[in-house]
Structure 1
Amino acid sequence: MANSPEMRASDVDRDRVAAILREHTAQGRITMDEFNERLESLYKSKTYGELAKLTADLPDVDLRHLPAKAKPTPAPQGGLHPGMRAAWGAWAMASGINWGIWLIVSITSDHLVYPWPLWVMGPWGVILLMSTVFGGGQPKRR
């Protein structure tokens, strides 16, 4: 049986129209002010005819076939965001170079030199560790 304009609408029908209005707002067909006005009228509507007036000037939208939203990219196999992996790589490279210099200086001076590379890698490593553990793993989006 076809829905006549005088037939009472349900909450599910109103929610379906609200989803259509949200999609048209997202696509830029109606402004946020228009969306808010239509949404207010939507939840005051009682019949299918009143619901139809809210979307009469808009093209049909099939809510079952909306374009897929961009999904966040999964973390790489290491579990770290690529930016964090790069930061750890830079830390490892700088630490390795500093320890290499320390080793060369210690060997050529016939005694062990104070392990100064600890002061280079220590604070930097602690900051990276805290960022890795408590940083959430994803960069902030603007």
Structure 2
Amino acid sequence: MTDFQRNDRTLTARELTRARAEGRLTEAEYEQRIHLVASADSYAELAALTADLPRDDVPDAPPRRSKRKRYALFLAVFSLNVLVWAILSTALGTALHPWWAWLLLWGLLLVVLP
């Protein structure tokens, strides 16, 4: 048996032990599964022994930016667009179409969405 297989069996046994300690497995189920860990011939057999147990390593949803940070980011982008529009309009001597007004729709979504 390679170290890799031994490590997989050890990890599976630890997960079963944790599940027993949490009350998710009865003593009889635990003993039966531990014997199956020792006799497993493939990784699929090891995975099947813990498939019905909840996983601790499931990643949480990534944290969302706070509304304040989203507003600050929006205001920075919006202000930059208005500044570029103002500089171009002044340099060309005519008022360009105010494309920055479309950004207000995105700002409205920031207010509406949670």
When the two structures are superposed, what TM-score results if normalisation uses the length of structure 2? 0.45
